[in-house]
Structure 1
Amino acid sequence: MVEFRIHDEHTAPQEVAPALEHAKRNFGFVPNLYGVFAESPQAFNGYQALSEQFQNTSLSTQAKHVVWLAASRQNSCHYCMAVHSAMAQQAGVDTDTIEAVRTDKPIPDESLEAVRRFTQAVIAHQGFVPEDETQAFLAAGYGQRQILDIVLGVAMKTLSNYTNHFANTPVDDAFQEHTWNT
């Protein structure tokens, strides 16, 4: 197995060191995923750009967290499941919703359940989502924009989930209580 270095603001390539310093000011530490991504400034910056754009999508805050969690679960990413469980909790997503996604159970809120199912379908079918599943998503009150917004979220999580698979990124101490195993 290849061992990936987890950079900090002192060891990172010059192009991303200021961003890691900024992350340390915001979080109080450099998240391990950022430290891994720092090895490639382009991967780091690409992830940051996807993240920023996903934050600006038409999806509600709760729906964004469901996308992050559902994609991370579908991709079996231990690191992102812990981080996004903590972030969802901090954002006020109810515990039942978080736990439903973590355990692959239906979310009681039908609108959020539609987001969970569609996100999983996008990944499971590699974008070739069966028509009946797409129509069910649309019937839940979503449109073409939300389809593309979810695809953006899936792209963001695929980049981080796969990176974590390669690097076997350790869960940061701040997220340990949300550790998840497949």
Structure 2
Amino acid sequence: MSRLPLIQPDTATGKAADLLAGVQQALGVTPNMTKAMVNSPAVLEAYLGFSSALAGGALSAPARERIALLVAEENGCDYCLSAHSYIGATIAELDDAEIAEARHGRSADPMAAAVLAFATAVVRAKGGVDEAEVKAAQAAGLTDGEIAEVIANVALNVFTNYLNKAVDTDIDWPVVRHHAH
């Protein structure tokens, strides 16, 4: 059971109600993660703003979902693995094999593999990548903007992983469990 209350859209008031209504309108559902975040409307607003800004960037939805799957697996976040396995399949149209490979930083697609290789370096080094890893990402075809976006997507997903693990958010997606590392 979630360690913070899950604020329900029908009982929320003020800014929390407005933010949850926006989530419901945009997604057609109000995920438990957003109901936990809105205990502080500033937290949900920050998440939505960061996520929305990155959605308008150079990295495609499938690339962002692959990063989310990798980071969730690395951090052992079952809530995020469950959410992004579902979103990856239904919205980003990743097949089961690509979802499974992304969790381990791999892809059959060369550009996706380059994104995941750099994202793996970023998450494992907690941002402390060396110059060779940046040069390898560039040599594999990532632009400087895409490199910056990979780092930002890792950071966004670390935030959601940490929040969902810390508050033990009830999983409201088809459940996927991380592998023991």
Taking structure 2 as the reference length, what is the TM-score of the superposition?
0.89
Q: Give, in whole Å, the separation in 2 of the partners of 1:32 and 1:171.
A: 7
Q: Is the aligned partner of 1:180 residue 2:177?
A: yes
**Partners of 2:25 and 2:148 in 1: CA distance:** 32
Question: Counterpart in 1 of 2:166?
Answer: 166
Gaps of at least 5 residues in structure 1 are none
- Does the C-alpha gap of structure 1 residues 2 and 31 become closer, same or farther in structure 2, counting only changes over 3 Å? closer
Q: How big is the shift at 1:148?
A: 0.8
Q: Percent identity?
A: 27
- In structure 2, how many angstroms separate the alpha carbons of the residues matched to 1:96 and 1:134? 27
Query: What residue number does 1:14 align with?
Result: 14
Query: Paired residue for 1:76?
Result: 76
User: Which ranges in structure 2 are unaligned for 5 or more consecutive residues?
Assistant: none
Match of residue 99 from structure 1: 100
Within 1, Cα distance between the matches of 2:40 and 2:76? 23
User: Per-residue deviation at 1:50?
Assistant: 0.5
Further displaced range: 149-158 or 18-27:
18-27
Would you say 1:51 and 2:59 are equivalent positions? no
Look up the match of 1:108: 108
Alpha-carbon distance in structure 2 between the residues aligned to 1:52 and 1:141 = 25
- Alpha-carbon distance in 1 for matches of 2:105, 2:55: 25
| Contact kept? 1:13, 1:39, Cα under 8 Å | no
What is the aligned partner in structure 2 of residue 129 from structure 1? 129
State the AA in 1 paired with 2:40. S
Conserved? CA contact 1:59–1:149, under 8 Å: yes
Residues 22, 60 of structure 1: CA spacing in aligned structure 2 closer, same or farther, 3 A cutoff?
A: closer
Distance 1:105 1:146 in 2: 17
The one-letter amino acid paired with 2:101 is: A
Tell me the number of residue pairs that the alignment of Structure 1 and Structure 2 aligns: 178
Contact 2:2-2:170 at 8 Å conserved across structures:
no
Q: Shift of the alpha carbon at 1:156?
A: 1.4
Take 2:102 and 2:177, find their aligned partners in 1: how far apart are those partners? 12
